[in-house]
Amino acid sequence: MTLYAPVKQNRSLFDKHRSILDRAIEAVHKREFFAQYPEMPSPQVYGETAEADQKKTFEAQLGSKFDRLKQSHDTWLTSDEQSPYTQQKLSVSYPSFTDVIKYIECAQEAWSDWKKTDTQTRAGVLIESLERMKSMFHEVAFSTMHTTGQAYMMSFQASGPHAADRALEAIAIGYQELTRFPQQLKWEKPAGKVTLKLEKFSTTVPKGLSLAIGCATFPIWNTLPGVFASLITGNPVIVKPHPKAIYPIAIVVALLQEVLVEHGFSANLVMLAPDTEDKPITRELAENPAIKIIDFTGSSSFGRYVESLPGKVTFTEKAGVNSIIIDSVADLAAMAQNVAFSISLYSGQMCTAPQNFFIPKDGIKAGSEHVPFENVAKAIVDAVKGLASHPKAGPAVLGAIQSEATHKRIGEAKDLGGKVLLESQAVTNPEFPNIRSASPIIIELPTSAKEVFQQEMFGPIAFIIATADTKESLALASAGAKEQGAISCGAYTVDDTTMETIAEVMAEAGTAVSFNLTGGIYVNQNAGFSDFHVTGGNPAGNASLTDPEFVLKRFTRVQSRVNG
């Protein structure tokens, strides 16, 4: 007898990609470096003419219908998307429904086969979609660049290889958890002269419709883990992208739909639900009782609303106040160069970008020398100024400012109080004369200005704060994490005891610490299969990419018994 037998099985893709899945599962356990998708856009890996060809594809898509999506629809919606580089609208139209409830109905209808499909078939379909995605990484990069403002190389890496690796990580963990226990077993218990016998059968039951709410700055990297975690666990997904960043994730949804249809599933199993800023549909979708799972990246206020919705399993990443604690350094210049890059990367529009720099007012030890507070601050300011003003490195690192609201915030930061150590300037980009850009502004503040620095200032806005000592620096950094949330923390110290104290206190505040970074590793970055992104331990978010809980809460395990 076999209970809960899958209705659909097609393991051809699973067999094709089994080695990829095995390596990914091994990497999840070892936490060592692993990347299925190389982060550099080399012609040897992605094709000799791939960049040029896909740039033409991107340009041809502008001003036209995105007709690659195979989902049901009754109208076309022209997006609000605008390039921060040209400040021109993309004018791309996407298939949509005039009535939001249609997304729910179509996804529910598509669900019937998928929820009864075996785990191996699901895994094969999902990995196949990622393997096809790599052939589109350059178009993904151009669309990300011209919606988010990320520079091209960062757009390629973050929305392409890094996002695909994070999606594969979710598949690997999901597959592992779904297959951890036997589906069928014979159970025997000695009971005197007789033996009690049972046959036991278990199944995993998906929670239901999943809603993935995207953000404007990382429309793929932040969205794919939740989408693939829901799909591997048998749940259909409605992808509701940010109205200013639809094109990048539309490429991935189209590829998923393509593979699903080829293997006998409905394209509506994963649907794109675009909207505009003046006619949003997010709340209507999120509040529908049929939506059981919500993945969200964005503002703290909307994140708290998502978390408050009854009857939902939520996975959120919200805003935070990230700190750098400077106690002592081996090399002042190396530290300054490293944090300057972290401040400047994508103009500080990253959830991991540092904002508050806590430095003892009496200065620090740098090598064998004592360096006054003013000199430490100057080293950071000079490093940021040098990077931002560099004619090649500056535009390549800072990119563009995604929104007018962020641009306005940067312009008004000089009025926050304190001493402006470095003013923000427009960053010239010869290729894009109309770029919306701004270099970092750095302001010195006293510890009494907590109402200013203990809140997130999204964008390239940094505060240097003179503290009584490292003990106070740590107290302020941990308080900010506990009260406002923090996703990253950097610390510089040559003292092992101080390092242990910082790590322990910040861990209690739910914040991971990167110590003594110099060279090519930065506090902003997280490595798939190794680093856990967000802890869920402070107000910056309630979930972590990617730990087992990220997939376990998307299904229920049910076991039945038959008298043997």
pLDDT (tens digit per residue) in 335-392: 999 999 999 999 999 999 999 999 999 999 999 999 999 999 999 999 999 999 999 9
Condensed to tens digits (0 to 9), the pLDDT of residues 320-333 reads 999 999 999 999 99
Has residue 517 got a pLDDT over 60?
Answer: yes
Ramachandran region, residue 84 (left: φ > 0; alpha: ψ -120 to 50; beta: rest): alpha
Position of tokens 């429309």? 219
Domains along the chain with CATH numbers: 64-318+543-563 (3.40.605.10), 323-515 (3.40.309.10)
**Confidence band of 59 (pLDDT split at 50, 70, 90):** very high
CB 249 within 8 A of CB 272: yes
Average pLDDT of the chain to the nearest whole number: 96
Cα end-to-end distance, the chain, whole Å: 11
CA distances to 49, 338, 344, 500 from 516, rounded to whole Å, are: 40, 9, 18, 13
Greatest pairwise CA separation for the chain in angstroms: 89
Q: Rounded to an integer, what distance in angstroms lies between the CA atom of residue 288 and that of residue 336?
A: 49
- Confidence tier at 2 by pLDDT (50, 70, 90): low
Apex CA 161: angle with CA 157 and CA 166, to 5°?
A: 115
* Residue 290, token pair as written in the block: 């049929």
CA neighbor of 91 nearest in space, from 250, 246, 251: 246
d(CA 135, CA 45): 10
pLDDT band at 1 (very low <50, low <70, confident <90, very high): low
Examine the pLDDT at 179 and tell me if it is beyond 90.
yes
User: Whole-angstrom Cα distance, residue 204 to residue 4?
Assistant: 9
Spatial distance between the Cα atoms of 370 and 375, rounded to a whole number of angstroms:
10
Q: What is the DSSP letter of 205?
A: E
Q: How far apart are CA 215 and CA 56, in angstroms?
A: 26
- When pLDDT is cut at 50, 70 and 90, the band that residue 27 belongs to is very high
Q: What is the pLDDT of residues 528-553, one digit of tens each?
A: 999 999 999 999 999 999 999 999 99
| Cis bond upstream, residue 428 (ω within 30) | no
What is the tens place of the pLDDT at every residue in 64-122?
Answer: 999 999 999 999 999 999 999 999 999 999 999 999 999 999 999 999 999 999 999 99
Give Cβ neighbours of residue 201 (< 8 Å, ≥ 6 apart). Answer: 2, 3, 4, 183, 184, 559, 560, 561, 562
Task: Give the other-Cβ count within 10 Å of 43's Cβ.
Answer: 10
Give the β-pairing of 419-422 and 441-445. Answer: antiparallel
Bridge partners, 497 (sequence order): none
Give the pLDDT mean for 249-253.
Answer: 98
Q: What angle do CA 97, 102, 104 make, to 5 degrees?
A: 125
In three-state secondary structure terms, 162 is helix
Grade residue 143 by pLDDT with cuts at 50, 70 and 90.
very high
Backbone region of residue 474 per phi and psi (left: phi > 0; alpha: psi in -120 to 50; beta: other values): alpha
What is the model's pLDDT at position 43?
81
311 and 289 Cβ atoms separated by less than 8 Å: yes
Burial class, 284, CB count within 10 angstroms (exposed 0-12 / middle 13-18 / buried 19+): middle
CB-CB contact of 398 with 347 (8 Å): yes
Give the C-alpha separation, 424 to 417, whole Å.
15
Confidence of residue 44 (pLDDT cuts 50, 70, 90): confident
Query: CA-to-CA distance for 474 and 277, rounded, in angstroms?
Result: 40
